[in-house]
Structure 1
């Protein structure tokens, strides 16, 4: 089994992105599933193509995109992506879409194929704050989640995809009163547990249908 895990580069005024840092620190294998790591640009017009290229090259069973959500207290697997790009700030290429449809032939929204509640339970079992989120926003994070779901809908029906938001890390909140943050090592523990839940759930699905994994 292969899982493609992506993390965004820093954006806005931040010099670091905890999403990318935690992806870099994940183990290369979780419950015998190979973890393929990929840095992706915080650029609307490039990021989807970057991920699609990686899907074609690696043929993963699962794609999990990781993004930063400053202001959140917990690691939050996302349940749904919406067909809307509406950016409060420009991306790293200076593009700032306002009230734009992502794909004209796409659904209004797509739900993840990942077991988000099981992922949350697995993280909480490791004493890591986690909860299901029902909004991925309207910035590049939601765009990426929706883009992958669109690919699943149109091209890769056997693929599973999902998105996880992580909070700021401590160094990002220096000088930012009242902003929550999480230790990077705790994020690694949490995401490893969440991915393990995905692997376990996927293997159970395979057994149910009598298929094989690659």
Structure 2
């Protein structure tokens, strides 16, 4: 877990504006600094209310020794200093254990819960709009619970802000039927069932280049600095929408 208001001191920080300028110039030579002007303006904002954000990712699974969602989250904690209280979690790839951890974590009370997961084959950051009460075997995640939850967050606006920074992103309406979908559905359900203020969403993260190289594959990938920057833009977009 990493907690921090304005910064995550456990891992050290750098000035986020300078970091982002260097990030885009170094990893994406075609980018222009003005592409991230909207993001930089968000970083300069101040707010009286400190927004609480739960940011989660998954541990490695199957043949993957790394998980791009966790890699992105960890990269973000090295430099993010936005006006939020950021709490991170890494969840096990097990439905029962994950659901227990998630339910306990949400009790702390957050404005937003952003759950991230790895999406092999994806070419963009996908902001998931719908969580289904459905498992891979066709059974319900929770019996006698709503069939689905749909996000009330301005996902299209957030996706556009990410694209404005030169990072591929889109809103998706199907998160699958595995743990990614379960995390999104359960986060919505627990928040509704216990009358929490938390608004939830799920982000599917493409594979990192190192993962593709290890597989000797031609699968699409996105650099970890880019995916972490996308998460920062997303957080700032949500904070702005709530003020």
The bucket for the TM-score relative to the shorter chain is 0.7 to 0.9
- 1:32 & 1:165 partners in 2: Cα distance? 24
Q: Which SS does the other structure have where 2:153 is aligned?
A: coil
- CA 1:105–1:29: 2 relative to 1, 3 Å: farther
Q: Does 1:179 align with 2:219?
A: yes
> Given the alignment, which residue of 49, 64, 81 partners 1:14?
64
- 1:171 & 1:26 partners in 2: Cα distance? 17
Residue in structure 1 matched with residue 157 of structure 2 by the alignment: 118
Query: Displacement, 1:29?
Result: 5.7
Structure 1 runs of 4+ aligned residues shifted over 6 Å read: none
Q: Deviations over 1:179-198 (max 9, x none)?
A: 10000001111110011111
Aligned CA RMSD, in angstroms, stands at 1.4
Whether contact under 8 Å (2:109, 2:197) holds in the other structure is: no
Q: Which SS does the other structure have where 1:151 is aligned?
A: helix
Residue in structure 1 matched with residue 240 of structure 2 by the alignment: 200
> Given the alignment, which residue of 89, 92, 102 partners 1:41?
92
Q: Deviations over 1:23-49 (max 9, x none)?
A: 122247654111111111111111011
Residue in structure 1 matched with residue 109 of structure 2 by the alignment: 59
- TM (normalized to structure 1)? 0.85
Q: Does 1:129 align with 2:179?
A: no
Whether contact under 8 Å (1:29, 1:35) holds in the other structure is: no
Q: Say which one has the larger Rg.
A: 2
Structure 1: gaps (5+ residues): 87-97, 204-214
Q: Does 1:26 align with 2:76?
A: yes
- TM (normalized to structure 2)? 0.75
- 2:99 & 2:145 partners in 1: Cα distance? 14
Structure whose residues are more often helix by fraction: 2
Q: Which SS does the other structure have where 2:89 is aligned?
A: strand
Q: Does 1:163 align with 2:202?
A: yes
